[in-house]
Copies of this chain bind each other. A is one copy, B any other.
Amino acid sequence: MKVALDAMGGDIYPAPQVDGAVSALAEYPDLEVVLVGDRERIEAELKRHPAHPKDRLTVHHASEIITMTDGAVEGVRKKKDSSLNRAVELVKDGKADAVVSAGHTGALVACSQLRLRTLPGIDRPGIATVMPTEKAHFLLIDAGANPDPEPSHLVGYAVMGSIYSREVLGCPRPRVGLISIGSEAGKGNEFTRETYKLLEEANIDFAGNIEGHALFRDPVEVVVCDGFVGNIVLKTSESLAKAIFSWLKAELQSTIWRSLGAWLAKGAFLAIRKKTNTDEYGGMPLLGVNGIVIKAHGNSNAKAIKNALRVARESVRQQVNRRIIAEMSRHHESHQAAPSPAPSSP
């Protein structure tokens, strides 16, 4: 199994990408990684790993980089030889089974939609991310692929999220909640009221509205929302978890007794830190495109890149896309809808 890794995406590159790839290869003997980007810079980093498996780690040169100041679609269209573009093309051309990038989210979504197209029955792809709860976790979709969706796009997210939850995360009967304000059907805004009606009719286990204050109490296994709200929920949660640990650290260091107490209890802090640490999750699948695309965090370190490669590997093995196609075709048949529209370009 071969994964194309955008070596020039994210806040820092290409060191975390190179290091993450090397440690993923050490852990997964069935994995091959193609580092896509500036050959000279990548090879300079590879010198730190003289013992890396050369047969399973190759470099595919790309001369350009899509930066955060580039527009999503413009970046993809103008920078043909960007690492992101070339990495996605390897999947399109069947030369890689999946692509991982920590780069520009909008550009990754646009490029995937443009080059790989959406799956039959899916109008827009959505980014899925796993978030921890009291007893387990839930899948949030869309975490930022599509900031201005139509209500009908969320039906696709609900179906894809249910399949991913069942097939990859192992929840036998995933229920789907819609993020809203107020739990009753009529509560929320115009967008969620319209979406609520469509989700009630969809072939999923719809549990109704989920309010922000219930999110971490294991309300449902799949939570759907528009990409704007989803990205803010994701980033706010990460930011708050980090803030609480940093506040706690300062308080724990303020007296000798507290420091001693913190030392005795350090296993507890490490456990919770691990639970809330995004590096552990590493990669968020872009569900709904015709190929395996994994978005890693912009601030990914080597560990996060390694875990994103793990998610890519799992997604390839689970053949999620084949199941999405089958389920969406059932969905459209059961709703006697018109044939699914042609894949939309971004």
A-to-B contact residues, CB < 8 Å: 68-69, 71, 106, 133-134, 144, 147-148, 179-182, 184, 186-190, 192, 211-217, 226-229, 231-244, 246-248, 251-252, 254-255, 257-258, 260-269, 271-272, 275-276
Contact = CB atoms under 8 A, between A and B. Distances in A.
Contact of A268 (B238, B252, B268, B272): B252
Given A229-B229, A243-B133, A261 B272 contact: no
A228 B229 contact: yes
Contacts of A187: 106
23 contacts: A71-B186, A106-B182, A144-B181, A147-B181, A181-B231, A181-B232, A188-B228, A192-B228, A212-B233, A213-B238, A213-B239, A216-B239, A216-B243, A229-B229, A241-B244, A244-B244, A247-B272, A251-B267, A254-B268, A255-B267, A257-B264, A258-B264, A261-B264
Given A264-B257, A265-B258, A236 B239 contact: no
A283 B106 CA distance: 38
A6 to B, nearest CB: 18
Q: Which 10 A-B pairs have the closest CB atoms?
A: A212-B235, A261-B264, A261-B265, A251-B268, A216-B243, A147-B189, A212-B236, A213-B235, A261-B261, A181-B231
Contacts of A182: 68, 106
Nearest to A259: B265
A232 B210 CA distance: 10
B258 A267 contact: yes
Contacts of A257: 264-265
Given A216-B240, A239-B213, A264-B261, A184 B228 contact: no
A275 B241 CA distance: 14
Given A212-B236, A236-B236, A248-B272, 10 more contacts: A133-B243, A134-B247, A180-B228, A181-B227, A215-B236, A237-B240, A247-B272, A258-B264, A261-B262, A261-B263
A interface SS class:
helix
A196 B32 CA distance: 45
A104 to B, nearest CB: 9
Contacts of A268: 248, 251-252, 254, 258, 261-262
B243 A134 contact: yes
A184 to B, nearest CB: 7
Nearest to A243: B216
Contacts of A251: 267-269, 271-272
Contact of A260 (B231, B254, B264, B267): B264
A154 to B, nearest CB: 14
A2 B58 CA distance: 75
A155 B344 CA distance: 35
